[in-house]
Structure 1
Amino acid sequence: MPIETRIEAAIAQAIARGQAGQTPARLADALDYSTSPGGARIRPTILMSVALACGDDRPELSDAAAAALEIMHCASLVHDDLPCFDDADLRRGKPSVHRAYSEPLAVLAGDALIIMSFEILARVAECDAARANALILALARRSGMPNGICAGQGWESEPTVDLEAYHRSKTGALFIAATQMGAIAAGHEPEPWYELGARIGAAFQVADDLRDALLDAETLGKPVGQDDLHGRPNAVSELGVAGAVTRLKDILAGAISSIPSCPGEARLAKMVQMQAERIISVLPARMRA
């Protein structure tokens, strides 16, 4: 079964479970709205690719891990768009959740999705309790404090910001979770997979800074100029456009070489190369060379 099919099926199953029974109709609907259509599903695709490269001997664990990771990511987007943070009107080309359903329901939807992500992993403990526990711990570490996406959001309230630490938490954390959780799901140690996830995450954040500075809202599917508007630290303001492009290319240059030895190393290298090309594709043609 293709990776994309496995990911979508696992997410749909989790959302359907959250909507089952006698539930508040609008909140139940907001869960589906928050997670679909799902964009590129980059994080779970990386997770599944690592799991496959490591043998994928327990596909039920890989499927659960991919769904949990993507649902956590979607929850973070719902909260990021709230008036207290970005106050964004658009996400993925449609009204953000708080615009479509109200601010209280957006808060509740994001909270429900966070809880759902851990429920998904707890449910597969019967398959392999040790791996499920490790998956829960890995996702928790990259979602909260001190080095998860909550820390990343928190950096935006500090008077001075370490740009590398900010990027590592805000965007890099869930990419690190992707590579490490993919390894865990397949019975491999997570630590060797840290660098690959960190490199991919750092590249995506620099690319996101460049998109925010260079693209328009119609192309991006969400508001642009948000970094300048909110006074947030970013690679473009610190390094300039040319410097940010150089930083992006330097990060990507070592990504493939950071892949740990595994049975599917060659196939995984192709996936990483494809993601690198995808990241570079956000740049204007004159900057891609």
Structure 2
Amino acid sequence: MSMSARIDTAMGRAIAAGQGNGQAPRRLAEALGYACTPGGARIRPTILMSVAAACGEDRPALTDAAAAALELIHCASLVHDDLPCFDDAAIRRGKPSVHRAYSEPLAVLAGDSLIILAFQTLARAAAEDPARAVQIIDILGTRTGMPGGICAGQGWESEERIDLTAYHQAKTGALFIAATQMGAAAAGQDAEPWTELGARIGEAFQVADDLRDALETPESMGKPAGQDDRHARPSAVAEYGLTGAVRRLKDILSGAIASIPSCPGEAQLAQMVRAQAERLTPVFASDSARA
């Protein structure tokens, strides 16, 4: 089975469990599935599985559960980010955001339910290797909450003075760090050496997202554009300018490849990181001249 198929299967199984087989409130159950589909690039679980494979994966069921749990947290964060109290975004992935499609109260409940479901998914797979599962749960909790998880990332937006590096690492980098660390842990390897790779990939994705927000349209992005400027949020474009942000993105991606720890699948993993770099950078190659 391909990596993409594994992710889709694991996500489908987790969402079905969360929907309660017809026993849950119908509209809330529908909102869970709506929030997770279409799935976009599923880049975080792809990175997680790629790291697990590179480390010599030997518990595929645990890897699958970890990948689904991570993606569930990501989807939950998007539901909450789009709420009127944050971005008040009307669209997400080319369709109405969850609060527009199902109401604000159901969007709050859907996001909360997805977070809980993520940890239930890991708990249900813990019999595969209890010690590894506990470590994975701890990593996901650390990178979701406080002091340096995605909750902290959202919290930085309410501060008068913002540390851009800490903001980017928490808001976007946290789940990429989770991806690399959880992948290593699922394969029975030490998670700590994988922190830098996740942090670098996460920062690259945030810089790329800042550039997209500044340069693209809602139609091309599948979500609102110009949000950083509209909400006076910190961004790489505001900090470095367009040309500087593009340069920063390329530097980060080069460093990401160099930071891959030694492992049996190091070459294949480097190829995956290069593919992601190519996916991020072409959009901005001609735009840097606009600065």
Q: TM-score, normalised by structure 1?
A: 0.98
Q: Equivalents in 2 of 1:78, 1:245: separation in Å?
A: 28
Q: Equivalents in 1 of 2:15, 2:105: separation in Å?
A: 19
The corresponding residue for 1:136 is 137
The corresponding residue for 1:145 is 146
One-letter amino acid matched to 1:246: R
Q: Equivalents in 2 of 1:233, 1:22: separation in Å?
A: 43
Q: Equivalents in 2 of 1:150, 1:18: separation in Å?
A: 23
Contact 1:31 1:109 in 2 (8 A): yes
The corresponding residue for 1:15 is 15
Q: Equivalents in 1 of 2:283, 2:44: separation in Å?
A: 18
Please report the RMSD computed on the Cα atoms of aligned residues, expressed in angstroms. Answer: 1.0
- 1:166 Cα deviation (Å)? 0.1
Q: Equivalents in 1 of 2:99, 2:133: separation in Å?
A: 33
The more displaced of 128-137 and 274-283 is 274-283
The corresponding residue for 1:184 is 185
Q: Equivalents in 2 of 1:25, 1:9: separation in Å?
A: 22
One-letter amino acid matched to 2:180: T
Write out the 4+ residue segments of structure 1 that deviate beyond 4 Å after TM superposition. Answer: none
Number of aligned residues? 288
Q: Equivalents in 2 of 1:146, 1:61: separation in Å?
A: 27
Q: Equivalents in 1 of 2:110, 2:234: separation in Å?
A: 28
Aligned pairs (5 A) from 1:16-55: 16-19=16-19, 20-55=21-56
The corresponding residue for 2:68 is 67
- Unpaired runs of at least 5, structure 2: none
- 1:233 Cα deviation (Å)? 0.5
One-letter amino acid matched to 1:170: K
CA deviations on 1:161-201 (whole Å, 9 max, x unpaired) are 00000000000000000000000000000000000000000
One-letter amino acid matched to 2:17: R
1:266 corresponds to 2:272: no
Q: Equivalents in 1 of 2:282, 2:64: separation in Å?
A: 29
Q: Equivalents in 1 of 2:72, 2:244: separation in Å?
A: 33
- 1:156 Cα deviation (Å)? 0.1
The corresponding residue for 1:116 is 117
Q: Equivalents in 2 of 1:54, 1:269: separation in Å?
A: 13
Q: Secondary structure at the match of 2:159?
A: coil
Q: Equivalents in 1 of 2:126, 2:67: separation in Å?
A: 15
The percent of aligned pairs where both chains have the same amino acid is 70
- 1:282 Cα deviation (Å)? 2.8
Aligned pairs (5 A) from 1:1-289: 1-19=1-19, 20-285=21-286, 287=288
